[in-house]
Amino acid sequence: MIKYLLSRLATFVPTFLGVCIISFGFIRVLPGDPIIVMAGERGMTQERYETLSRQFGFDRPLPVQFWEYFTGVLQGDLGRSFVTNRPVWDEFFSLFPATLELALCAIIFAIALGLPAGIIAAVYRGKFFDRALMSTALVGYSMPIFWWALLLIIVFSGNLGWTPVSGRMGLMYFFDDVTGFMLIDSLLSGQSGAFKSAVQHLILPSIVLGTIPLAVIARQTRSAMLEVLSEDYIRTARAKGLSPGRVNGLHALRNAMIPVITVIGLSVGTLLAGAILTETIFSWPGIGKWMVDSIFRRDYPVVQGGLLMIAVIVMIVNLIVDVLYGLINPKIRKR
């Protein structure tokens, strides 16, 4: 297992270097001058422009700028925001708990409904449950996020009044931001109704963000289960008189989980990268909206550092998925 893990860690080095190059070059190919964006065109003289260029290091050749950026990253320094003058590291981790909390709730919602739906559809292949569940999954995958979000807001927030429209917490609650996770902080505050308010604010964004992963997990689970259920050892298990629950839940599902875990891992990485539309529609203060605002402001350190941190998180999630492969199927460790 150690050798298997080290082989996966070895791929981190070239991937990390490639991400650094891409994150550095991405913002620089966009049109617009960051100096003019920050300082404005009015009152911008040539002397002031050159002064700001020297201050932020834009007067140096690009290879030199990249080397300074790369060496800073290796030392754990992602730079400071041009706009707020705060360290990018601090800004990222002040917003990341909001995105992580939303992403975890969304993926739990997707797994809790998608996995059973895929299993039921596979067991009842070609029957009513199969057609109904897969048709629903296809509709869920096809719906645009912004339309689905607005529809839920109109129905559950506007007409029924069951859930808030936006934000993470009701305006009547005030407590210290201890962990950054509103569910935990609301419990620690001890204020009556605070936890309920945090849950209510999470419901709609989690459903919206988790709908597409739910559909993908359901369809992938069905496909993997159908492939496994046709294997000889499944027929042998049935011939031995094992109960359908034991055959489907123990023998079939375990071997079908590898492609399903792949989908779940990729979904988690995507959700953690920041659901831009969901965070924007529900005014959710996460890293997705933060990154978009930084791109428009040409805030180079924020965009570079944010892209790098998101990529590292996705790499870690993929590493965890690879480890789970080895735990579920020991044969994979020998490859």
- Give CA–CA dist 310/23, Å, rounded: 11
204-258: pLDDT as tens digits: 999 998 998 999 899 888 888 888 777 777 777 777 777 776 777 666 777 777 7
Domain span at residue 110 reads 94-288
246-293: pLDDT as tens digits: 777 666 777 777 788 888 877 877 777 657 788 888 888 888 878 888
- Asked if the structure places residue 313 within a domain, the reply is no
- Asked if the structure places residue 201 within a domain, the reply is yes
- Asked if the structure places residue 261 within a domain, the reply is yes
149 against 41, higher pLDDT: 149
261: left (phi over 0), alpha (psi -120 to 50) or beta: alpha
Task: Output the CA–CA distances (angstroms, integers) from residue 14 to 49, 96, 315, 318, 333, in the order listed.
Answer: 37, 25, 12, 15, 22
- Asked if the structure places residue 154 within a domain, the reply is yes
- Give CA–CA dist 170/147, Å, rounded: 25
Total structural domains in the chain?
Answer: 1
- Asked if the structure places residue 15 within a domain, the reply is no
- Give CA–CA dist 249/255, Å, rounded: 10
19-32: pLDDT as tens digits: 888 888 877 777 76
- CA diameter of the chain: 86
- Asked if the structure places residue 318 within a domain, the reply is no
- Asked if the structure places residue 294 within a domain, the reply is no
Taken as a whole, the chain contains a residue count of 335
The pLDDT, as a whole number, for residue 154 is 92
Predicted model pTM: 0.78
105 against 230, higher pLDDT: 105
Share of residues in the chain with pLDDT > 90 (%): 7
Does 40 score more than 80 pLDDT? no
- Give CA–CA dist 43/7, Å, rounded: 56
The pLDDT, as a whole number, for residue 28 is 78
- Asked if the structure places residue 203 within a domain, the reply is yes
Does 333 score more than 60 pLDDT? no
Domain of residue 226, CATH code = 1.10.3720.10
174-202: pLDDT as tens digits: 877 788 888 888 888 878 888 888 888 89
